[in-house]
Structure 1
């Protein structure tokens, strides 16, 4: 027995929408493409879905309706130009973070154009997304990354294999003492959700992403304060740091850097929706 692709997608989309999934049409199509071993764009070439595929698809749609992350069900996520393996135990990279990675790529490329091999450190690397993107787009860069959580570190090992990235397991507060004063660019997507904001977090993140990657003290800025101190130690004079934050921290996150007197050019940057998204600063010379 088989069913038409249109009917299958329509039914799955309706179910995901009823479950509160933010992008039901997209997710229904991605899951069907995954089951059929094709791409979402090529689904139009599929007229009918046979019973074995229908059975597999029904299981995945049920799990997505239960708010398991789409990327956990497909096992992968695209980030800029690289594909990442993801699953339980690691933070799923968000499209917004691609902007921070792009900023890091631009700063590193400027140094390459100036005749040097930039040293880049990615703290709280998680899946290795930013580190892998920088290594991919700026092959002249010497890239280092660190992750504290054991499960997330295992995913980073898998994703960064063969990239040349120096991956370590450890705490951002103490990582890379051996690179003190030698780093050109520091990036970080730290935890930044206040502890009392638990109920406001989407189930996909709250119930499936590691809490170590989500929550950071009463105001969500504990990790940002640690990052500020560590970046000041790692960077050479004139080096730069970029860090993602919550959209409500467009003033408070930059203030962490501005208050210390160690930084110049402290600026906040919006995401594609115009929401405050990441802060950058340059270490004073």
Structure 2
């Protein structure tokens, strides 16, 4: 029988020249297709987008780059394949994409998010635009804005970054959420925004009568109305979702605090549910606000109500 040792030595030397045993490769196109199928079966509404974002997160690529890699037959190593599959399984369990990646896009910002803080939604970008326009129209050299219930800091940081001459206060009363507020304010490196931990009712008495714009995305879901989406129902903090029996408990607090903070002619901008516009207009008018009006988002749904401090 032939001694196998010389052959084994030759194979070992050849493997060494090639950098060791060949690592298994997986086609990006196949991983993408599998991820889309898994997420679709799990009922994830944005299966294709989420699949590409998760693959891109592991590979350090944008969605466009992932699409290009899939089209050109590119492959990834086995450890990357395993990481992608693990993240897809987490998303299939309806863990929010933003919790998995630890980041959430909001206008021009990328915010750190995770357990304990409400994940900012695309529809809130519409609310931010209304507040930005109101703040930018203020003739003062340094207009002042307050975001009541800032959470991740999304609205406050959008105002501070897009109205550079402004001074913005990001107010939060949840210790769990305020960790994320502070982190995002620090990461922004903006010197015109300050995070403030205080109850909304007692916020910023030193600014009474001097604020130009108050913006808020308060909890507005009625206590008995359970959100349909598992990502919201299971992962967003209850304090950021539910506003009492009629959903308007915190809205009432925001109205009273904003009346105290704003100067006459100052503007309130508040997000709410698509069926709450009329009720919130009536509430604000009863509190003494002028010109309460509701704006619809890009999908034609009531999304924000504005009012003017008398």
TM-score of the aligned structures, taking structure 1 as reference length: 0.96
1:45: how far off?
3.3
Instruction: Please give the secondary structure, in 2, of the residue aligned with 1:90.
Output: coil
Bigger radius of gyration among the two:
2
Give 1:44 deviation, angstroms.
2.9
After superposition, the C-alpha distances for 1:141-194 in whole angstroms (9 at most, x for unaligned) are 010111111111011101011322121111111111111111000000000011
2:301 aligns with 275
Give the whole-Å Cα distance in 2 for the aligned partners of 1:202 and 1:255: 29
Equivalent residues in 2 for 1:127-206, closer than 5 Å: 127-161=152-186, 162-164=189-191, 165-198=193-226, 200-206=227-233
**1:266 positional shift:** 0.6
Look up the match of 1:221: 248
Segments ≥4 residues shifted beyond 4 Å: none
Selected match of 1:9 from 17, 32, 35: 32
| 1:241-256 correspondence runs (5 A) | 241-256=268-283
- 1:227–1:115 Cα change, 3 Å: closer
Match of 2:292 in 1: 266
Asked whether 1:79 is paired with 2:102, we answer: no
Instruction: State the superposition RMSD in angstroms.
Output: 1.1
Q: Residue 115 of structure 1: CA displacement?
A: 4.4
The offset of 1:273, in angstroms, is 0.6
Q: Select 1:28's aligned residue among 51, 70, 80.
A: 51
Compute the TM-score of the two structures, normalised by the length of structure 2.
0.88
Q: Which runs of 5+ in 1 are unaligned?
A: none
CA distance in 1, matches of 2:53, 2:261: 41
Q: Give 3-state SS (helix, strand or coil) of 1:247's partner.
A: coil
5+ unaligned residues in a row in structure 2: which ranges? Answer: 1-23
Q: What is the CA-CA distance between 1:50 and the residue it aligns to? A: 1.9
Distance in structure 2 (CA, Å) of the matches to 1:227 and 1:105: 19
Q: Which stretch shows the higher mean deviation, 207-216 or 38-47? A: 38-47
For residues 224-239 of structure 1, what are the structure 2 equivalents within 5 Å?
224-239=251-266
Distance 1:249 1:18 in 2: 33
Deviations 1:51-76 (A, max 9, x none): 11110011111110111000111111
Using the alignment, how far apart are the partners of 1:143 and 1:59 within structure 2? 40
Rounded to whole Å, the distance in 2 between the matches of 1:145 and 1:43 is: 36
SS at match of 1:38: coil
Q: How do 1:94-113 and structure 2 match up within 5 A? A: 94-111=121-138
Aligned residues: 280
Quick one: distance in 1 between partners of 2:102 and 2:200?
27
SS at match of 2:306: strand
Contact 2:52 2:67 in 1 (8 A): no
Asked if 1:44 is matched to 2:67, the reply is yes
In structure 1, how many angstroms separate the alpha carbons of the residues matched to 2:280 and 2:46?
29
Question: Partners in 2 of 1:189 and 1:104 — Cα distance?
Answer: 12
| 1:184-240 Cα deviation digits (max 9, x unpaired) | 000000000111112x33111111111100001111111111111111111000000
Distance 1:234 1:55 in 2: 53
Deviations 1:106-158 (A, max 9, x none): 111111xx343111000000000011111111110010111111111011101
